Structure 1
């Protein structure tokens, strides 16, 4: 923002310098040229006096404000020029200030006033001024010559106007491209943050949930069933070890900028027993049903299926502790993953505001699929995700 302010201030300073230069140059040219015309012009006229010199200076000075008030400046310079001519002072470069004022106004805003001034000026210069000076009216060829010069002036104004339009359009497009690039950068940053949050939740959340369940079992059975408590502690040890490995993998992926790349081997949909092994270790009775013909799947689909099944079974372990059924359905172009709680599901306050179900939905949508999670009318809870398989890409098997 500070840099933009400095650029704008520099541009304003440059424009002020240009305007002052235009004023000084035109004052010098009009004064010198009109003085020469006063001495050598053969036509009868009123010699320059203080009023004539004042009018020659007033027109160029008014141009200093031409960028801010183009129509007002054009009107003022036109009035000064007409007053100069009707006063009978000699012809000369008095028209230069009027030309600059006209080009500025005609190329900056509405054409109505500048072109009306141009037409009125033609009538005044060609007929009104000679009549007021008691001079012979110009010939038809001279009138046509003046009209031709005015047409050239009009063409120049249109060219300047067109050039400004092109420059303005290019700036708008550049600004739009910059804004779009910034929005895309923000969108990618948001997606990366969500991906990181989702990965950490899936890696840490599953393991901590299993550790929490197993630690409760160990505490409950420590004095009554030492062997069962020992198995629970062993499950805690395995879950914490796996969690540490996966956390390190996630951090390495973040550092390398390849968060979506497969890291440690992910259980595939063709190995359902490995897919549900952590839940079984936590004491959940899980049965697996496969519908259709199993086939190799892209690693991204395997990863999404693994995370969704883990999250769903983790919720069973946390909120139900009963049995669950995992159904894998192989369709022609999709894999359907369904996890049913057998009926011991209990809605608890700590389920509200969690990231598990939103994370499952995000994973499914990232592949172009969908995911639903809701209680069943007959009791229990169902999570169902549909994951399009599509064409396998080479990088999926890398």
Structure 2
């Protein structure tokens, strides 16, 4: 005996579901009308008219995706006329019910409510006329069914709209995250290359040895920038491609930032205190990027010669500050750039704070505090801010 795999059984969806429903209703209606014809030989003309309406109503259902409102009204009116001609309480009412649900699920609530009201009024009028086919209980039950159908369709529309909005929000957050990563990676390295290129052009004739040293720094900086750029763009790779294996940037690689800034003529001193236990990946990445952007701003805008990076790892939070001896916030023009906004977004995404302004002895200072739970539990919202280099 052949084995039936239930997992392979799938209900039809889309246009096939409409065809299947129309076919089933038409067959059941035909069986009911056939029994009516067998019991009443004089009802041939009435049965023919009922058959014609049933075929027309069922044939219209598959067209509802192209003409939803028109098909809805046609099925409602056609079914009403069918019940006036036929003495059989057949299943044709399922077709307008399906059309009403589809309209409500598309957000056309007014049209579906209007059609449901017409159906209830029509059936109620039949009761008042005294056709004998329906009574007050039938009107009450039909009203309840139609209200439930329209409500279910409206709920379906709300769920789909919510899911679409949530998907758009996730896509927007992902675009912002990629833009922030590209800004941090490209901005930092290009700033260092710009400074070194200017230095090389200035010293090319006067001091070729120093110009060669600057060109070597440019080569190293561009190589590092390309490596980080490839890792960042790895987030856009195809699903079946191999994931990047480069480690995520973190404070353990802060010496690379110091070396890069030193090649641009910036003297950077790093002061670390507190614990030495590993930080959560999202916090480690955010701290690295904030220090990176702060050094980039110091090279690009402030004209600073010295920078002090202070990092303190507490039990439940990381605090850091980056102070330079440049021109300060009021004259450097750093307040209007996107770099500070990106740093602030990183801190806020992890529940932290970031402030910028002039230091106590002029210059510019960036202060940041990022909390993290004990035992490095995941931070809400932080998982979306992972560095693409880590896959």
Under a length normalisation based on structure 1, what TM-score does the superposition of the two structures give? 0.63
Q: Does 1:162 align with 2:223?
A: no
Q: Which residue of 2 aligns with 1:19?
A: 80
Q: Does 1:279 align with 2:261?
A: yes
The one of 315, 321, 324 aligned to 1:338: 321
Structure 1 unaligned spans of 5+: 27-64, 82-94, 101-152
**How many angstroms apart in 2 are the aligned matches of 1:257 and 1:205?**
28
Once the two structures are TM-superposed, the CA of residue 367 in structure 1 deviates from its matched residue by 2.2
Per-residue CA deviations over 1:41-63 (Å, capped at 9, x if unaligned) read: xxxxxxxxxxxxxxxxxxxxxxx
**How many angstroms apart in 2 are the aligned matches of 1:204 and 1:274?**
15
- How many residues get paired? 289
Moved more, 365-374 or 202-211: 365-374
Task: Say which SS state the counterpart of residue 318 (structure 2) adopts.
Answer: strand
Moved more, 154-163 or 313-322: 154-163
**How many angstroms apart in 2 are the aligned matches of 1:354 and 1:208?**
16
Once the two structures are TM-superposed, the CA of residue 348 in structure 1 deviates from its matched residue by 6.1
Task: Say which SS state the counterpart of residue 297 (structure 1) adopts.
Answer: coil
> Is 2:329–2:335's contact at 8 Å kept on the other side of the alignment?
no
Q: Which residue of 2 aligns with 1:182?
A: 164
Task: Say which SS state the counterpart of residue 206 (structure 2) adopts.
Answer: coil
Q: Does 1:324 align with 2:307?
A: yes
Q: Does 1:372 align with 2:355?
A: yes
The one of 234, 244, 252 aligned to 1:252: 234
Under a length normalisation based on structure 2, what TM-score does the superposition of the two structures give? 0.64
Q: Which residue of 2 aligns with 1:8?
A: 69
Once the two structures are TM-superposed, the CA of residue 206 in structure 1 deviates from its matched residue by 0.9
Matching of residues 185-264 of structure 1 within 5 Å:
185-256=167-238, 264=246
Q: Which residue of 2 aligns with 1:290?
A: 272
Once the two structures are TM-superposed, the CA of residue 350 in structure 1 deviates from its matched residue by 6.6
Pairwise CA RMSD? 3.4
Once the two structures are TM-superposed, the CA of residue 67 in structure 1 deviates from its matched residue by 5.0
Q: Pick the structure with greater CA Rg.
A: 1
Structure 2 unaligned spans of 5+: 1-62, 88-114
Task: Say which SS state the counterpart of residue 131 (structure 2) adopts.
Answer: helix
Task: Say which SS state the counterpart of residue 96 (structure 1) adopts.
Answer: coil
Once the two structures are TM-superposed, the CA of residue 328 in structure 1 deviates from its matched residue by 0.3
Higher relative contact order (CA 8 A, sep 6+): 2
**How many angstroms apart in 1 are the aligned matches of 2:119 and 2:143?**
17
Per-residue CA deviations over 1:134-177 (Å, capped at 9, x if unaligned) read: xxxxxxxxxxxxxxxxxxx4333332222222222212211111
Q: Which residue of 2 aligns with 1:31?
A: none
Once the two structures are TM-superposed, the CA of residue 312 in structure 1 deviates from its matched residue by 0.4
